[in-house]
């Protein structure tokens, strides 16, 4: 059985012009990792994962970042570092699983599918979720950056 691992990331951000940003675009850091593992043939949820991540380069969230993501300084200050969060994701979602496809698709449809699979309303247009659902069955034929682990991890 093939499963798809759908990952949604939130990152530090700021709303100023490039020269005025407290968090430059090339220094944005992951502050939340959400994931859902779904069966390829039915899109039935197999497992879910969520963790906050402590930012290092810019440890204090901007007001814009908090308003945009709803993530507070308190939760990221007490969160694990990125390597520990990624190891927790690997342990929870990949270890002992067979046929997991790990990859990247355009952000809007994946986030929409992730939210719908978790029972939350899609933030994007309805046709975006439909495009994501239509794209998932064909992902096994997409070349890099996808990596397929047919024998599990």
Q: Please state at what angle helix 107-117 crosses helix 126-135, rounded to 10 degrees.
A: 90
Between the CA atoms of 122, 38, 86 and 80, what dihedral angle is there, to the nearest 10 degrees? 60
CATH of the domain at 17: 3.30.420.10
Q: What is the pLDDT of residue 60?
A: 94
Give how many domains the chain has, as a whole number: 1
The answer to whether the beta carbons of residues 12 and 31 sit under 8 Å apart is: yes
How does the average pLDDT of the chain come out, rounded? 74
SS (H, E, C) 45-99: EEEEEEEECCCCCCCCCCHHHHHHHCCCHHHHHCCCCHHHHHHHHHHHHCCCCCC
Tens of pLDDT, residue by residue over 30-56, are 999 999 999 888 989 999 999 999 999
Does the predicted model carry a pTM greater than 0.85? no
Tokens representing 22 are 């407290």
| Mean pLDDT of all residues in 121-126 | 44
**Residue 135 clears pLDDT 70, i.e. is over it:** no
**Residue 108 clears pLDDT 50, i.e. is over it:** no
Q: Which domain holds residue 140?
A: 3-149
Q: What is the pLDDT of residue 79?
A: 97
């Amino acid at each position: 059985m093939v499963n798809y691992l759908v990952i949604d990331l939130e990152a530090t951000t700021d709303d100023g012009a490039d020269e005025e940003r407290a968090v430059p675009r090339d220094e944005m850091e992951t502050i939340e990792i959400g994931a859902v593992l779904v069966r390829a043939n039915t899109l039935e949820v197999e497992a879910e994962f969520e963790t906050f991540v402590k930012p290092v380069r810019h440890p204090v969230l901007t007001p814009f970042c908090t308003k945009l993501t709803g993530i507070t300084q308190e939760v990221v200050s007490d969160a694990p570092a990125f390597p520990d969060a990624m190891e927790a994701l690997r342990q929870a979602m990949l270890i002992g699983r067979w046929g997991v496809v790990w990859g990247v698709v355009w952000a809007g449809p994946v986030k929409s599918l992730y939210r719908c699979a978790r029972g939350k309303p899609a933030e994007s247009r309805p046709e975006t979720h439909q495009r994501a659902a239509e794209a998932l069955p064909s992902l096994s034929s997409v070349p890099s950056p996808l990596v397929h682990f047919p024998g599990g991890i």
